[in-house]
Every structure is written in structure tokens, then in C-alpha cells.
Structure 1
């Protein structure tokens, strides 16, 4: 959003040695997340499996985006997920509202600029329908994006 590429923050702790030379790249983190999601899709324990078929339906918990709030990590998660993994528009109201809360928290905030590192990725996921919300939640978010970024980010 600020014209600079996403970089792992100095306090990034998911990959050991990520901030030492040679520095881990976005591709390294993306490959790690892809591997993790693949393992979750094939997990033997049904309560831990990320599955979407005729008998089971699950989405990535919105709290993952709050827990893992690094912009590069959030972007990697969004890129590695299938649209079914991010189908909050097919969930109950509470789940869609939880994701709306995550998205609202990603809006530009002068006191916490790092919170909006992945805003463009979230917008791309919504615009390409890789991520969905219930219609009323999507409308709230779109209105907030336009209202909060029109002066600083004319693209909105």
C-alpha cells in the first residue's frame, strides 16, 4: 500500500533464523504455509482437518489472521488457501463477522501502520472471490475501505 514490498518484520519468529543472513524470502514463507495447509487437508484427526467435501466443510478460523499478524505471513496464507478455505460467506453470521473484524483491523491506522501491511492482499482475495463474506458484512467493509482510504489511497 505504501509502495514498498512486504518484508518480514524484525520480530518475526515463525521461521528460525528468518532474519539472519541470508534472509528468508516471501517465497520461503509461502512454501512453508503451502506445506502446512497441505498437511492440514490430509490430517487423520477430523477435528484438525481442513476439509471441504460432501460430508465435511471447514474454513480457516479468522483468528489465524489475528494470531499471525505479520503482513508477509497473512499474504502467504491468503495466497496458499483455496477459495473454499476462505468461504466465510457460506458460514454462519458469527464467523463472517469475525472475519469482518479482522478486515476492519487491517484498515490503515496511523498509530499502527504494520496492521495494514496485507490490506491489498485481503482486497485482492475479496475482489477475486477467493475470500467471501456474508453480503451485509462485505458491504460494511467496502464502505469502510472507501471512507478511510479515499484521501490517502485514491485507488479505493
Structure 2
């Protein structure tokens, strides 16, 4: 019996050791008009390991895509560009803002109003190849910034 308990405890410690420590602060989603079915989400992200955000989802949206703001080769303004991942460095803050990388929620089940709580699930791929999911609750803001 003691061996089983010790084996379970060791397994639990091994699983705990694999999870990276993630701190997410200031998560918010831009408010929408009643007819809109998409919005953008922003946050500050810090992890004790290097890696990338490789996917995101929300039960309130049919899909969530990752986008980065990039200059086009024609010298034009910054434009949102879909990307496969948003990389982050070990212990360096990644800012998802309106002029950097951000999340685009598409197919919203309803408008986003100030004070709404929007759950987001981020999938991380760490430098060692392991994946981890992190859940955060973003707060809806008004339509105007």
C-alpha cells in the first residue's frame, strides 16, 4: 500500500514539475456593437519558460485566431497578419496590444459589453516541446477605448 501511495505522489510531483508558471494580467476584450460577431482580446503574459502561444479558444466564439501587426513590404501601415504562434521569452513579458500581437475572436455568440466576462483558453508550446493550457477570464470593455 505504501508503494502505491509513494508512486502516486511521485507521479503527481512529476506532473506538477512539468507545468510552467504563467502569470497573465490585464486581460480584456474590446466591446462590440450589437450586430458585430468578432472582437479582439489583449493581455500581458509572463512565463518562467520560453515558448509560444500556439492556439487559443473561447466557449463564446466559434474560433480564436492569433494575429500579429506587421508592416507590408510596400511600406504601408501596420496591418494585422494571421500567425501560427506568438513567441515569448523566458521571464520576459509578452504584451498583446492593439498594435502588437493579439487574439481575434470570431463568431461571437453575442455582443461584448463593458463588464462582460469572456473565458479564454491559451495553448502554450514550451521550448522542451511540451504543451500546456492556461485559462484566463478577460473583461469586456466599452466599444470606444
TM-score interval (norm. to shorter) = under 0.3
Select the structure with the greater relative contact order (CA < 8 A; seq sep ≥ 6).
2
**Is the strand fraction higher in 1 or 2?**
2
**TM-score (norm. length: structure 2):** 0.25
**TM-score (norm. length: structure 1):** 0.24
- Structure number with bigger Rg: 2
